[in-house]
Amino acid sequence: MGGSPSKLPIEAKVGRPPISEANLLLCLLFYPFFLIEQLYLTWPIGNSSCTLYQYGAWVIAGALCNTHALIALNRLWAVYFPDSYRRKHKKKLAFCECLGMWIYLHVGCLPGIILDHLWYRPPVEIKGCNFVTDAPASWLWTVQLVYFDFPILLVLGVYPLVCWKVIKRVGLAVNPINNGHSGAPAPHVSGLPAGFNAAQSFNEHQIIRPTHGTCLSCKRRAADRGVPVLTAMSTLLLVVYFPDQLAYTLQMMFDVNMDDIIPVVSKLYLLSTILDPVMLVLTVKRFIYA
């Protein structure tokens, strides 16, 4: 991939590594177990595999939501404070942001998974594996709101702010194509007698004409490339992520019966593994020509 690291787009520096990692880990640690859960009434592959299933459901799935929020915050920084962003946002900072996000997810999500594994989980051979966990409700509510719902709302809130700023920046730029002038006299094209033109010879030397003429072109400055990226990302969150998280939030926090809805939104959520990388590739020009 060409270009220096400092000139790579935000999605390349911040979004691509964690999104790629999270989608790969989901394929390994979540979807196989999800299929087993759909096929069997109980859990036939042991207690430890149930813990891995929960790890994928909370930590890995949380990485996807929080990566989108991280991209949105960096886009907000780049649009509102472009000089600061260009000076400070280097490859090292992008790496630290990604590493910090993974640490943040493990600090918040692992306690509930460990508690469920050690104390709260009923025998999986009888009750099956509940990837939502049977950990205390206070932990469930906190993690669901902070690690899943808030990042989605953050992206949807940042989007209009970025669009508004970019619209303000768009303007007309007037670019002269050629400003060169020549002092050569204009050619004699008059049909008047030569004597009359001779009388005007002094004035001929005062004529200054452009060599090619002056041509003005008006062009509208291109909108920030981040707007299409953020638009695609916000649409993806609304269509794929938001229904799934809303259903689980209503069920966990308000005890709303979502038994008929959750199978549908869960299958829709499975599309994130395909749509996330496709969205990233199609909206980042450098990836297309890599």
Regarding whether 218 and 84 lie in a shared domain, the answer is no
H or E element that contains 24: helix 16-29
pLDDT digits (tens, 9 = 90+) for 233-288: 889 899 999 999 999 999 999 999 998 999 899 888 988 888 887 777 766 654 44
Residue 54 has pLDDT above 50, yes or no: yes
DSSP state, residue 87: H
254 in any annotated domain: yes
What burial class does residue 32 get, using C-beta atoms within 10 Å of its C-beta: 0-12 exposed, 13-18 middle, 19+ buried?
middle
pLDDT digits (tens, 9 = 90+) for 159-200: 999 999 888 877 534 444 444 444 445 454 444 444 444 444
Regarding whether 177 and 112 lie in a shared domain, the answer is no
Regarding whether 279 and 157 lie in a shared domain, the answer is yes
Give the distance from CA 239 to its chain's centroid.
Answer: 15
pLDDT digits (tens, 9 = 90+) for 130-151: 999 999 999 999 999 999 999 9
Regarding whether 250 and 213 lie in a shared domain, the answer is no
Regarding whether 179 and 256 lie in a shared domain, the answer is no
194 in any annotated domain: no
Q: How many domains does the chain have?
A: 2
Beta strands in 105-190 (DSSP E): 172-176, 181-182
Give the distance from CA 232 to its chain's centroid.
Answer: 8
Q: Show the domain range for 92.
A: 5-170+223-288
Regarding whether 256 and 183 lie in a shared domain, the answer is no
Q: Which residues neighbour 20 within 8 Å (Cβ) at sequence distance 6 or greater?
A: 277
200 in any annotated domain: no
Radius of gyration of the chain from its Cα atoms, rounded to whole angstroms: 30
Regarding whether 215 and 233 lie in a shared domain, the answer is no
First CA to last CA distance, the chain: 5
**73 — pLDDT class (breaks 50, 70, 90):** very high
Regarding whether 19 and 142 lie in a shared domain, the answer is yes
How far is it, in rounded angstroms, from Cα 126 to Cα 43? 8
